[in-house]
Each structure stands twice: as C-alpha cells, then as structure tokens.
Structure 1
Amino acid sequence: MTASEPLTARAGTAALDDHGVVAALGGLVDGTGYWSGKGALAGIERTGRYLAGRGEQGEEPGRAGEGSWSRFIGRIGAVALRAAVEPTRDERRRRLLALLEIWADSPFADPRARIRTGLVRMAEGGPEAVRDERGAAVAVGWAPGGLRKFVDLRAGEADPPGLGTVEEVTDVPRGGWGDAGQVRRLVDLVRERGPVPWDLDAVAGLRDGTGMGRAAASLALAGMVSGGYLPHLDDRERRIHRLKVAEIEDGVREPGRTSPLDRLDLMAAVLPEDPAELWEPQGMRAVAERIAHAWRERYGRRTVVPERTFGTVIELNPSRLSAGRFCAAFTDHASIRGLGSDLDTWIRNSDFRPFPTAAGEWDLLDFEDTLRAVVPNLFRVYAELPAGDPVRAGAPGLVRALRERLNHPGLLLDAGNLSRTVGDGVADVRDRFGSRPYAGPEPLDVANVDDGLTVVVDGGVDRTGTRFRPKLYFRPAFYGDDERSRTLLEARAGSRYDPDVELVEWLRGPVCERIVERIGDPALPPGTYETNPVFSAPDVLGRAARGLGVDEDAAALYLQLLTLYAPSDRNVRTWNGWKAPRHREAADVLVEHGLAVEDRRARAGRRLFLPGEWIHAGKPYQPMEAWKAELLGLERSYNGRLENPPPLPTRTLPELFARAWELVEGGRGPSV
C-alpha cells in the first residue's frame, strides 16, 4: 500500500470513506473543501499506524482534509457523542462509527502515548514524514504563512525526529474521555442496542442550565454545537429535535465566534466513563448537566427567557446575532463582550486596508454586531413583547450601556466610504479634515488624516490591482451637532449598509428616549402589549371607533392593520388576547364597512388587508400594503419590492396610532 492508494485496511470501511465523512464531521473540522474526495478515514488510519511504527513496509502516512482532525486527539468525545445519539442520520453515524473504530486501534486513543501537535516550517522538498527509534512525526496539513500542521509521537525521553523548524507545539490533552476501551465499547453498544434514545427533558435541562435557546440546546446535546455551520437536517432529524427550519438556522448561530477547537473542548468530557450509562433512563440528562457545566465555565449562564420570546426574536431575524445572544444583550448586557466595559480601539494595517481593532480578539466585532442588531430591532422588542418580559424590561439598561460605551473617547466605529463627489483619496479632503495624521500604536501604510472626530484612510490595493475606496472612521464620543460632525456627514457616501452613524444618532435621540420611557411606564399592565391600542392608545381607539361607526374590537384591529409591521393572525390574537372567533368577528365588521378586504397573500400570515396596492418582499423582509409602507418610511428597492433595510422609527406606538388615525380622519387613509 502506497501514499497514492487512499484505502483503509478495513474492508467494511472502504465504501464509507468518501465525501460523506466531512458532512458527518461538519462544524468540528476546518477547510471542508479539502475533505471532498475519498480517503480521509484511510489517511487518519495510516497516519496512526505510521506514528506507532506498525505500517507495512514502504507504507507512508495518508492525508485527511487539511489536518484539523488532529484536534480530535484527546477530544474524541465530541465525535463519539454525535455518533451515539438518535438524531444523527444513519449515513453519518456509519462514518462516525468507522472513524471511532479506526481511532480505537490507533495511538490517538492511548492515554500513555506522548503526542504533540503544532506548526512547522519545512524545508523545500523535505520529507512529509520521518521515523526512527526516537519516535515519528507526520505533516498532516497546511497552515497560513507556508507552515505545515504536524503530529509527532515520542517513543522515549528524547524529542522525536523533526520535519523542520517548529514554530508552535502543544501536548495533546491526556486523561480525559476516549481511551481505546471506552471508544470500542461505545461503538459496540451503538451497534448492539441502536442509537441512544432522544430525551426532550434533557434538552430542557440544558436550556435551563445555560440560558441558550431550545434549538441550540437540542443541537448541542446531539454533539452539533456548530458556530455557524448549518447542518442539513432531514425531516426525520427535525422531527426528533422537534425544530422548525428557522429554529435550526438560529440555533447554529448560538455559539457565535467559536472555533472548531472551542467546540471540541466544550464537548470533550461530557460522556460517562462507562458508555452504557447513556442508555439508562437518566443517561442523557447527565450528559446535559455536564455540557451545561462546561458551557457555564466558558461563557457563563444567561437569563432564561420564555419560549414565546425566543420565537418572536427568531421572527425578527437579527442576522448578526442568534436569538439567544440577542436576548442576552438585553437581559445580561454586562456579560456581552464589548458592552461590559469601555473599548479602547485603534487602527491597524492589513493586507487590504487599515481597520479598527481592540485588545480583545472579538470585543469590537461583538460590540458592532450588538449595536447593529439591537438598535434596528429595539422598536419591535418594545412593541411585540409583553410588559414584564425580561428582554423588554432589559431594554432601558441596554440602551444606557450602549450610550456609555459610545461616550468613550477611545472608541472608533465605521462611518462608511468617502463619497465620490468629495474625492478619491486623502489628498482631496485635507481642506475639509486638515492635515494632521492619525496617531496610533503603529504608523499606517496609507495616507490618512485625523480631525479628532473623523479618521480618513486611503484604501489599499487588492491582488488584482484594484484600489479600495477611502474609508471613514469616527469617534462617537465627539459626534454631535457641530461643524466637524456636519463635515463627516457631507463627506461620507450614503449607504444603508454602513449604518453606524445613523444608529448612534438615533440611540441618543428623542424617539429612542420616548421608547425607553414607554417601556418603563407601569401603566401598561403586565402581560399586555403596546401593540394593543386598548392599553397603549385608548383615546385614539375611542376616536377611531366613533369615527368609523364600529365597535372597539374592530377599531383596534383596524389601527393595527394601519400601523404594525407584521400583524399576522397569530400575532394579533396574541397581542389582543383573542380567540379565533372574536378575531373573525372583528374582521367581518371591517370587511362589511369597506375598511379591509379578505385575501390570501404570500408570507403575510393573515387573511385581512387594507385596500389598495400590495408590495411583495423576499425573505427576510416583510411584504405589506403600500399605504402602510409609506407611513413607516419603507423604501422600495430597485425591483419595486420592499427589500431594503427598514428605517429607524420616528414615533412610539401611541404616536403611530395617532398619526395613522389623523390621516384616515383627514381623508388620506388607504383606499382602492
């Protein structure tokens, strides 16, 4: 057998050694494109044999993907959990079990083996593997900067032979779950008893023990903590998890910016010492407790929020954050990276263009994600969650925290690109921003100026020779109603995709302040909604009922159709506390009076509509009546649909109800 033959010595495994291996390992390995062909299992098996000195004469190690599988050494429990549980589809389970069988027969499952992993700089044309009486070393993949990933095994006290200059090396974890006996026993039990039955109570326990969402908890208990990798679950898997597609899409984002290594570490020691305990009545609940403990040690425990709240937030689709992380920004904002304390940022060089960074690896990005997800959705949190809800109740504290962070002079945020009408480089704007250069920890590689509020930096050049537009960054602590701020606004290219300046303005503005005051107003009874004008705008409701000549229920429904972003039948019944018959009765009154029409329209979730033009929208945007879109300030996109980010609100809900009724009363309401 030679390196050109990607074959495993196990006849039953060869048929499984294909592109399906990477699907089975999704979220636990990097560089999935490198795993697209055959031979990954054989590569791992042959590498283990080579390190142990058991290979056939002339046999060389194999290759498996880009080498990230080497992180499984000392952490194979994450793979084993996924292989054992019921939700994993059979085609993936077979490949995972095949890998575990190979693993059990390798030095990787020997807790006595002295194995290291790391990065090495190899000489050009040097050997990919070396072995002598001191041990062995194998290059298992590529890494940035021309480095190679390697695994070595020491046979004695001396260091094993080397492949080149070692740049980084780490001993693999030892003594945890996953020795050869445990791995073999788990494989045998799965084949003998079938997969471990799913336990929804264990999912609930994991959710309550961490504060993560139900979808994230279910995926984690199945060994599918993924941090952005979207597992393609079939109908059977979704039924076992009892999750909808939108919940799955949200759940995979829960871990945020965690790496495959982070996820392997999280799940490495959650299985019982005796795998047979998994099949006991409380077996999966014990696993859930261990996962929860590991999660809390790393990320803390979030406030548990109601399932209905999670569902509402998933519908909001705050794309930069999972529903769990979005809710945590409101309920536990002090624990969110970038929110708990001031951020000192600076501009650093990169291959393409300078950009702001902070001391914590992800602190600035997490702060920006929170700002850009929370502020555009703050109105709907205020409007569509009931009084007393922990997420809604946390909004005033979150707003205060965001304002405090924005008031820190050391924070720099993105203000977008320099407008083409202003110039094409720093040289064109010195008359506006002065000539003082930016003073940071390192000199910037491109021309730049800094007027104290705004930093302008020329764009770099990419590999094709294309020059990026100059970038503007600003210090929100100094942004306000002054000449420098007006200069910034005049110089930036208007783009709804660079919203930080507008978000800062709105967050400090009067509308946000009035919304915060409304949330803190005890006049709204616990459990009721601001979207119900019975509680939030009784005076407007009374005028509308009298003016329309209808009862209060019909008037309330009409005001909701006029103003609310997504008045689906389900939402209206939730907000108003109605059952279906009462809802139908109010709707019939509006139809009889010519105030609404009945119809079926895609993605509306309702059967009642205002008369007049209907504007379609693709996900994640909301289709609605043209009259209401104009009231809310929504702009059509180039194709005539509502597929632009919605503007920041200009009114509270009572003010919006009042404005809508003012238009109707003045003869400017919706009409055919």
Structure 2
Amino acid sequence: MAVRDERGAAVAVGWNRDRLRKFVDLRTGEADAPSLGVIEEVTDAPRGGWGSAEQLRRLVGLVRERGPVPWDHQAVAALREGTGMGRAAASLVLAGMHVRGRIPFLENEEREILRLKVAEAEDGASEHARLTALDRLELLADVLPEDPAELWEPHGMRGVAERIAEAWRERYGRRTVVPERTHNAVVELQMLRLSAADFCAAFTNPTAEPGLSAPVDTWIKNTDHGPMVSDANARWDVARFEDRLLSIVPNLFWVYAELPAGDLVREGAPGLVRVFQERLNHPGLLLDAGTLDREVGASVAELHERFGYQPYAGPERLEVASIDDGLTVVTDGVVDRRGHLSRTRLYFRPAFYGADERSRALSGARFDSRYDRELGLVEWLRGPDCARIMERIESAALPAGAYETNPAASAPDVVARVAGGLGIDEDAAALYLQLLALSAPTDRSVRTWNGWKPARHQKAAAVLVERGLVVEDKRPRAGRQLFLPGEWIHAKKPYQPMEAWKADLIGVDRSYNGLLESPLPLPTRTLPELFAHAWALVEDGAGPSL
C-alpha cells in the first residue's frame, strides 16, 4: 500500500497489527507528506550517510548495465569471523535478506547461489528473528560504499561485510566462532526454540546470552488466556531462559556424546550447567509446572489440604482463585470464548524445589510430565547423572578429537572384555557395543566416531554377521545395515526408530500405537557406564535375541 503526490510519498511496511499499520513517508517540501490514515505515533527513521537520490539512481543504473553484484563467499566468511554469526545468517545479512517473509524461505536458485540447504537457510533466518525492522535498518543503513560501482570490483563485497561486522559489534558484541562442522551438526537437531548459533553461544559464553546473563525475576499476570508467567521488567527474559532450558538441557547428552573432545561447545557444557544451576537457585524465578491432575482435584478450592490457604500475591491481583505455598503456585482455569474451562495450572519456584514434603506434593499433583518438562529438567540438572556426565567432560579422559561414542576410546576395558568373551577382534567388539547401546549408530556416524574407512567398518561388520550377533537388513530411517536380533520399533520423524531391546535399555517408552513417539529420555548413565551395562546384560543371558 502506497500513496504519492507532489508533497511526497508514504509506503506501508509490514502487516496490520491491532488495527494499526506502520508506514514510512518522505516529504519533498515543507508540507506534510500524504498519509495512509490517521497518524497515531511518529518516530524519526535513522538516516545513514548512504542513500541519496543520486546514489540510488546510480545503483539502479549499474544493476541494469552490469547485472547482479557478484556473490562473494569470502565476504560471508569475513562477516562470520567478525561477528560470530552462523554462515547462513551471515549470508542472509550480507544479501539483505535477513527477514523471513514466506515459506519456502528461499527459492532453489537463491539457495544455490548462497550454498545453503533448506534447513540451513531456515536456521539462519531464525538466528535474527528477534531483530525488529528498526534494528535491521540501523544495522544496514550505512554499509554500502559511497560509490556503488565498488560493489562490482574484486573484494567489493568484503568491504560491505567489514562495515556490517563493525556495526553489529557496536550493537551486539561478538560471539565466539565455533567450527562450522559443529554449527552444521546443531542445525540438524532442528530445534524449534533456538537457532544453532544461539545454542552454541550458550556454551561458549553463557553469561552473555539473553535469559542467562543475570537472574530472572518473574511473576504471574492476567492475560486474555488466563494467568501467565512474565518477567518483572517485561523484556521477555523468562521466555528466553525457558527457550534455553527446554532446548539445551535435553540435548546436553548429544553434545557430550556426539561432539569430539576439545570441541568448543562440548568443553563449555560444564560451565553452562553451572550457570543454569545458579539461575535456578534464584528465589525470584517462577516456572510453569504444567496442569493439575484431575484425580488430585479440579480447582483451587479442592487443593487447600495439599497446598494451604495462602493466595498468590504478585504485582497485580489475579482474576482467578490461587494458592501459594512458597514453592508451588496454583491458579484456577479460565473460560474461553467458546465457554470451555481450561485446566488448573501449576507453577513452581526452582530455588525451593528439593526432597521435602512440599516438593512431593507438587510432583504428585502434575497431570503428565511428558508435556511440561521444566520440573524434570530441573531435577536432572541438579542430580547425580548430570554431574557424572559433566565430570566426564572435565576429566579430559579422551584425547582431543576422540568421541565418547567410540568405546575403543571411552571404554577400552569393556571392549577388551567383549572381545575376550566373544572371541572376536576389538574392532568388531567396539562396533557390537555401539549397536547394543547407542540410539542411532548409523553407518556414517560410526565411521566418524571411530575414524574408520568403509573397508574397516565392513570388515568388523562381517565378523558380527558371521557370528550371528547381528542381522543384515534395510529398514526405513535407520541409516545402517546391521541390527540387533529381535523386534524393531518404527518411528516417524523426528523420533528415532530402534530395536525393542535397545529401547528398553535406554528407557524409551512406546506410544499407545506401539511406535516410538517420544523424545529420548534424559540419560541416567555416562557412555562408559552404558556400554558396561549393556555388555553385562549380554553376559547374564539377557541380551538381544530372536
């Protein structure tokens, strides 16, 4: 939507929101520019040194004469190095395309020029999703050369990249640059709440990240959808903390297991866990604990014996009944526009959660912990299983570049016992342990973890097949040809199919339809412990069988 006359022009930007639309205007004289409606608020747009009428006309003329500016992958690398952005995000910023406005985000031809896969492009766009239109304008307002012809010169785009990097550092600082292989591996996790760059940055410098940089004070406020947790300063700090808690903690075992020793992200895990623990110990933090089990009660009025009579007292009076016992806050549901009453909700203060009677009362009142995971994540972060895994990382037991998923490196004593017990060589023994204990020992992953070429992998596999320890097959989404004997459980994306024996070993529950439709549970063992436990079951005659 736009309008133009002799007084100037006005152009709408973005979509209507709350019956209001943002627009920019330009006056050609003293009179007000034409308007798209009644003006409610005026903000001066930032003006950089670039963008005069002469420069714009020259740029358009050069594009018509010379075609598109040549894409420079070295300029992308310079921008990534100067800011700590992911490669995809740096590509999009350099191309001026860091606003995701359609799906698919980029056409195939565009992705080919930028050398991005679909998942990489989507992740790169999400990396800067919280930037406002004003943030983007300020970032790029003064980065083009005074003479646009420089863009077509050799290294012309590198100057643009350097100026963007400088503008970025002035506003947001510089993140640690992680190896691209690590960043790309995180992209494959396809997290909904965090970009790969945000995920990695939490490990390399957690106290600089939103939601982790300082204790978060929260309170419960009224909304159109019922009570909701908000941070006291209304800066979305609690949402950013929860984004990191819910995205990072379930993937800590992946970081420990599938990134090599010495990797920046892996090495940062123990420090990040300590920061999480510090933030969770802050008395002012209040988190969602899910909904009330209806077998316990249906409303606040039925819960006084369990949680007491003290109502919640926050900055604003709640519009529904509530109870606050110091650890747990309970709020009644609300009736929506269709007349449906929502479930009674539970909230908790992690600083006071432990092994006392109040904590047991809270745990016993929750409806289904599979869908509201905050409390379980808090328990695990403070528990002995997490501590042993972090101690394993800090112990430097592995040489740089080695993987914990390779039992020859992480559990050589177990490999020796397997080799001796089965009368096979140590390569075959290591592969057998991986097939026994790891959720997704794909052929590609095994070769990466073990540093094997295909021939060595195939030789070890042939030994296991010959001895009848595994079966050869082709199965959807398995990524491998060797399987433990016995039942196979299918799973749809994003869940991992696996052998039934292995699912029982690592504690993956089947859904009502017999499929695996749950994320992997939080680990209860380090990998050396898991390898040893799996082999002990085999020795005791409880291993996989047809």
- Give the TM-score normalised by the residue count of structure 2: 0.94
> Which residue number corresponds to residue 332 of structure 2?
458
After superposition, the Cα gap between the structure-2 partners of 1:156 and 1:310, relative to the gap in structure 1 and judged at 3 Å, is closer
2:341 to 467, 472, 497: 467
Contact 2:8 2:27 in 1 (8 A): no
Alpha-carbon distance in 2 for matches of 1:257, 1:654: 41
Alpha-carbon distance in 1 for matches of 2:119, 2:37: 48
> Which residue number corresponds to residue 29 of structure 1?
none
2:167 to 291, 294, 300: 294
The reply on whether 1:68 has 2:10 as its aligned counterpart is no
After superposition, the Cα gap between the structure-2 partners of 1:151 and 1:195, relative to the gap in structure 1 and judged at 3 Å, is closer
1:484 to 336, 358, 370: 358
> Which residue number corresponds to residue 48 of structure 1?
4
Contact 2:5 2:34 in 1 (8 A): no
Alpha-carbon distance in 1 for matches of 2:27, 2:400: 66
Contact 2:7 2:32 in 1 (8 A): no
- Return the offset for 1:360: 4.8
The reply on whether 1:385 has 2:249 as its aligned counterpart is no
- Give the TM-score normalised by the residue count of structure 1: 0.77
Contact 1:637 1:643 in 2 (8 A): yes
Where do residues 134-213 of structure 1 align in structure 2 (5 Å cutoff)? 142-144=16-18, 146-147=19-20, 149=22, 167-213=40-86
Letter in 2 for 1:529: Y
Letter in 1 for 2:272: L
- Return the offset for 1:625: 1.7
2:111 to 238, 247, 250: 238
- Return the offset for 1:344: 0.9
1:322 to 167, 189, 195: 195
After superposition, the Cα gap between the structure-2 partners of 1:311 and 1:152, relative to the gap in structure 1 and judged at 3 Å, is closer
Alpha-carbon distance in 2 for matches of 1:150, 1:311: 38
2:155 to 268, 273, 282: 282
Q: Greater shift after overlay, 358-367 or 651-660?
A: 358-367
- Cα shift readout 1:46-70 (whole Å, capped 9, x = no counterpart): x1337428xxxxxxx8xx7xx325x
How large is the RMSD of aligned CA atoms in angstroms? 2.3
Contact 1:318 1:377 in 2 (8 A): no
Which secondary structure state, in structure 2, belongs to the residue aligned with residue 252 of structure 1? helix
> Which residue number corresponds to residue 253 of structure 1?
126
Alpha-carbon distance in 1 for matches of 2:66, 2:25: 37
Alpha-carbon distance in 1 for matches of 2:103, 2:199: 19
Alpha-carbon distance in 2 for matches of 1:236, 1:158: 45
After superposition, the Cα gap between the structure-2 partners of 1:223 and 1:231, relative to the gap in structure 1 and judged at 3 Å, is farther
Contact 1:436 1:451 in 2 (8 A): yes
- Return the offset for 1:156: 6.8
> Which residue number corresponds to residue 582 of structure 1?
456
Q: Greater shift after overlay, 366-375 or 617-626?
A: 617-626
Which secondary structure state, in structure 1, belongs to the residue aligned with residue 225 of structure 2? coil
> Which residue number corresponds to residue 282 of structure 2?
408
1:306 to 179, 187, 208: 179
Contact 2:13 2:24 in 1 (8 A): no
> Which residue number corresponds to residue 370 of structure 1?
244
After superposition, the Cα gap between the structure-2 partners of 1:198 and 1:151, relative to the gap in structure 1 and judged at 3 Å, is closer
After superposition, the Cα gap between the structure-2 partners of 1:179 and 1:541, relative to the gap in structure 1 and judged at 3 Å, is same
Q: Unaligned stretches of 5+ in structure 1? A: 1-42, 54-60, 70-140
Contact 2:328 2:348 in 1 (8 A): yes
- Cα shift readout 1:601-622 (whole Å, capped 9, x = no counterpart): 2222222222222222222222
- Cα shift readout 1:135-192 (whole Å, capped 9, x = no counterpart): xxxxxx7441x55546566677687899998542212223443222222222222222
Alpha-carbon distance in 2 for matches of 1:655, 1:521: 15
- Return the offset for 1:581: 1.1
2:519 to 626, 645, 656: 645
- Cα shift readout 1:281-310 (whole Å, capped 9, x = no counterpart): 111111211222222223221111112211
The reply on whether 1:553 has 2:509 as its aligned counterpart is no
Contact 1:554 1:586 in 2 (8 A): yes
- Return the offset for 1:268: 3.0
Contact 1:227 1:254 in 2 (8 A): no
Q: Greater shift after overlay, 480-489 or 352-361?
A: 352-361
Which secondary structure state, in structure 1, belongs to the residue aligned with residue 495 of structure 2? coil
After superposition, the Cα gap between the structure-2 partners of 1:209 and 1:230, relative to the gap in structure 1 and judged at 3 Å, is farther
How many aligned residue pairs are there?
Answer: 545
The reply on whether 1:632 has 2:498 as its aligned counterpart is no
> Which residue number corresponds to residue 345 of structure 1?
218
After superposition, the Cα gap between the structure-2 partners of 1:217 and 1:376, relative to the gap in structure 1 and judged at 3 Å, is same
Q: Greater shift after overlay, 151-160 or 201-210?
A: 151-160
Contact 1:230 1:249 in 2 (8 A): no
Identity %: 68
Q: Unaligned stretches of 5+ in structure 2? A: none
Alpha-carbon distance in 1 for matches of 2:433, 2:313: 55
Alpha-carbon distance in 2 for matches of 1:296, 1:649: 38
- Cα shift readout 1:264-294 (whole Å, capped 9, x = no counterpart): 3333332222221111111111121122222
After superposition, the Cα gap between the structure-2 partners of 1:349 and 1:367, relative to the gap in structure 1 and judged at 3 Å, is same
Alpha-carbon distance in 1 for matches of 2:450, 2:34: 74
Contact 1:406 1:477 in 2 (8 A): yes
